[in-house]
Structures are given as structure tokens and as C-alpha cells.
């Protein structure tokens, strides 16, 4: 499917109602207002097409950029492309999808740590979103020591961080507690207290970290022991835990 054909389909799928909703959530004015249901249909039709994703991104249309993040190939992503795309983002919806994409790359942790240390709102937000996605899908990629260090940083910086970054940090705290260090994360959540995030003219609310950690634990599939060949000293290491679909932020 060509860029022209995709843009024509996106335009036909757009509605004024969706456009108004996305604008309230912070999307840029250049968009058609395509529902995620229709974006998913297009994704199934296109499958993975990294070259098309690059072309879609360069249109600077929010719907096109959303689709780009859904059809891009993680193995073809480069650090340079990631840096370009994050600097183009001023809408948390795109930041969430970029975090999901980059969490699947070989350089995920490197860019995660770099962006988590950023002072820029959406860069920092996306860095923590990468961390949340790694913990949800591949928790073994993050050691307990790394998770503990991130918890200390969240506790120290969350209240002084930019608005959307606070939201990303809060979700990362939930992910650490839900998939890695429950007791430690709950203790940090209690010391942090209420996290204030301005969600604009929407019905979105900032989740209470402690209660959400408990929800994640309750709904997470039980850990399965790895094959015997991967056991060390007779003690099996925890296998990969996968959570159900995360509630939309």
C-alpha cells in the first residue's frame, strides 16, 4: 500500500467527534480523527512496513504518525530515528506508542536510561514508558538492582518533574511493583503520596500506585519455572510474566 493510498483511507476513516476528543487529549491540529479500531484494521491490512512507517511519520499528521508507530519494525529502528521521532512528539498518545515500539529494540535500555534523565517532558515520559513496557513483557531484562535504583529516582524526582513525565513515572512505579518488586514499590508509593497530573479537559485520572500494583499482581498470570537447562543451583529463575491489556492511560 502506498503512502497516498494510506492517507486517503485515514481521511475517510476520520470523524469530527474523534478529532475533538484527540485535540482535548493534546494531539496536534493536523489530524483526521481516526479511531483506534480503524487504525488496528489498517495495521492488520498493512502488517509491518517500516519504509511506509517512515513516510507516514514525515507527514506530521497525528493519525498517520500513530499508524507509523503501529507498523514500524523494531529491528529496523535506529537510535537516530528514535531521537528524531521523540523530538517531534508533543502528545502523550504518540509517546506511549513510541515507548512500546522502542522497548522491543536491542538498544531499548540504553535509550531508556538516557531519556529518563531528560528534563524534557515527553522525552522523560517516553523513557519511563519504555521501562514500563519492558517490565510488562520481559521483566527479566531488568535486574532487581536496576529496578531498585529506578525506584529511588522516581521517589526523588517525581514531584518536581514535568506534568506528563510524572504520569509516566507513576505508571513505571506501578510496573515495578506489579512485575518485579512489590513490597519495595508499595513502600515508595506510600512515601510519595498523591501524584498530581493535569489531564486537561478529559475524564482521565491519575491512578493510585499502591492499589494498581495490587491489581496487576492479582490479574497477572502465575510465573512458570523455566526449562531445567536454564536453572542454576537447583533453583529456577522466574520466567517471563505477561500482564493483561494495560488500562489506557
Highest mean pLDDT among 179-188, 199-208, 226-235: 179-188
Q: Is residue 180 scored above 80 in pLDDT? A: yes
CA pair distance 77, 86, nearest whole angstrom:
13
Average pLDDT over residues 120-124: 98
Q: What is the pTM of this model?
A: 0.86
Q: 147 near 181, Cβ under 8 Å?
A: yes
Residue appearing with cell numbers 492511560 = 249
Average pLDDT over residues 188-205: 94
Q: What is the mean pLDDT of residues 150-176?
A: 98
- The helix (run of H) or strand (run of E) holding residue 169 is helix 163-179
pLDDT at position 218: 85
Distances (CA, A) of 188 to 172, 178, 214: 12, 13, 14
Q: Whole-angstrom Cα distance, residue 206 to residue 218?
A: 20
Nearest residue to 238 (alpha-carbon basis) of 117, 159, 139, 169: 139
Tell me the C-alpha distance between 53 and 83, whole Å: 15
The per-residue pLDDT for 220 is 76
pLDDT at 219: 82
pLDDT category of residue 131 using cuts at 50, 70 and 90? very high
Question: Mean pLDDT across the chain, nearest whole number?
Answer: 90
Q: Are the C-beta atoms of residues 105 and 74 closer than 8 Å to each other? A: yes
Q: Is the pLDDT of residue 110 over 90?
A: yes
b/e string for 89-125 if b means 16 or more Cβ within 10 A? bebbbbbbbbbbbbbbbeebbebbeebbebeebbbbb
Judged by DSSP in three states, 103 sits in coil
pLDDT-derived band at 60 (thresholds 50, 70, 90) equals very high
Q: Give domain limits for the chain.
A: 1-72, 92-222
Confidence (pLDDT) at 221: 66
223 vs 116 pLDDT, higher one: 116
Average pLDDT over residues 73-101: 97
Q: With left for phi above 0 and alpha for psi between -120 and 50, is residue 234 left, alpha or beta?
A: left
Compute and round to an integer the Cα radius of gyration of the chain.
19
88-112 average pLDDT score: 97
Residue 159 binned pLDDT confidence (cut-offs 50, 70, 90): very high
Band (pLDDT 50/70/90 cuts) for residue 232 is very low
Amino acid at each position: 500500500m502506498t503512502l497516498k493510498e494510506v492517507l486517503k483511507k485515514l481521511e475517510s476513516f476520520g470523524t469530527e467527534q474523534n478529532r475533538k476528543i484527540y485535540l482535548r487529549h493534546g494531539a496536534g491540529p493536523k489530524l483526521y480523527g481516526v479511531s483506534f479500531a480503524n487504525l488496528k484494521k489498517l495495521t492488520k491490512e498493512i502488517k509491518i512496513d517500516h519504509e511506509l512507517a517512515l513516510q507516514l511519520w514525515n507527514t506530521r499528521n497525528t493519525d498517520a504518525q500513530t499508524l507509523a508507530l503501529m507498523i514500524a519494525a523494531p529491528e529496523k529502528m535506529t537510535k537516530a530515528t528514535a531521537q528524531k521521532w521523540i523530538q517531534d512528539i508533543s502528545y502523550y498518545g504518540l509517546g506511549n506508542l513510541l515507548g512500546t515500539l522502542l522497548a522491543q529494540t536491542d538498544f531499548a535500555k540504553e535509550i531508556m536510561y538516557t531519556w529518563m534523565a531528560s528534563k524534557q517532558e515527553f522525552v522523560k515520559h517516553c523513557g519511563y514508558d519504555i521501562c514500563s513496557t519492558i517490565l510488562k513483557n520481559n521483566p527479566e531484562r531488568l535486574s532487581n538492582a536496576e529496578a531498585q535504583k529506578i525506584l529511588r529516582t522516581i521517589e526523588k524526582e517525581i514531584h518536581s518533574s514535568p506534568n506528563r513525565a510524572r504520569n509516566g513515572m507513576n505508571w513505571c512505579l506501578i510496573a515495578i511493583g506489579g512485575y518485579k518488586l512489590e513490597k519495595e514499590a508499595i513502600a515508595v508509593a506510600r512515601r510519595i503520596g498523591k501524584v498530581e497530573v493535569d489531564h486537561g479537559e478529559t475524564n482521565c485520572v491519575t491512578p493510585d500506585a499502591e492499589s494498581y500494583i495490587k491489581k496487576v499482581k492479582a490479574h497477572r498470570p502465575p510465573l512458570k519455572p523455566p526449562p531445567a537447562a536454564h536453572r542454576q543451583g537447583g533453583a529456577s529463575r522466574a520466567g517471563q510474566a505477561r500482564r493483561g491489556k494495560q488500562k489506557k492511560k
